[in-house]
Amino acid sequence: MENELVELVMEDTRERMARAIEHVKNEFATVRTGRANSALVEHLPIDYYGTETPLRQLANFSVPEPRLLVISPFDKGAMAAIEKAITNANLGLNPSNDGQVIRLTFPTLTEERRRDFVKLVRTKAEEGKVALRGVRRHARQELEALEKDQGLSSDEIERVEKVLDKMTQDEVAAVDVLLHHKEQELLEV
């Protein structure tokens, strides 16, 4: 019974850490690299007939060229709202509308802008690491509660905490790998 509870805590911790890593990946996807990527605008809230709706629910995306993103709204009446949301999002992109689709041309990034994006990505990576440590702290609290309530031995708790620390280190290393790849992508000319 005791080991089942410990396993439940560890499984919950694995899932939370996986979600934290996924969140970091999604955050990195929203940082512009100079190449067209729909992840930059997919989550933008659009005022669609009085309702805040993510852009991905209102349009299809295509990338016909490396620096061009084409947004094809399902409802042509939403074109103005989509354009307005993209402009107000301050992404450094100017939407052009031909009545059928909206085209976003991604300009090449200056060296200064690239450095700013690297700083932003590092901040997002650090936030991800903090989230992972928070998951570890939460798991430790649950294990301490099990020790008190269920009478788990301190040796068992210590063994599980070592596994927990190793898991956390591995996930933090995964964030570092993601950060390294994103930095390389941003600094690539």
Average of pLDDT values for 69-82?
90
Confidence of residue 74 (pLDDT cuts 50, 70, 90): very high
pLDDT for 183 beyond 70 = yes
Which CATH number does 38-105 carry? Answer: 3.30.1360.40
What does the domain layout of the chain look like in residue ranges?
A: 2-30+110-187, 38-105
d(CA 121, CA 46): 25
Q: How far is CA 150 from CA 1, 125, 142, in A?
A: 9, 37, 11
Average of pLDDT values for 85-95?
82
pLDDT for 107 beyond 70 = yes
Q: Based on the number of CB atoms within 10 Å of its own CB, is 160 exposed (0-12), middle (13-18) or buried (19 or more)?
A: buried
pLDDT for 1 beyond 60 = no
CB atoms within 10 A of CB 84: 13
CA 178, distance to chain mean position in Å, is 11
d(CA 44, CA 52): 9
Average of pLDDT values for 37-46?
84
Least confident of 33-37, 109-113, 149-153: 33-37
State the DSSP code for 168: H
**N residues, the chain:** 189
pLDDT for 15 beyond 80 = yes
Which CATH number does 2-30+110-187 carry? Answer: 1.10.132.20
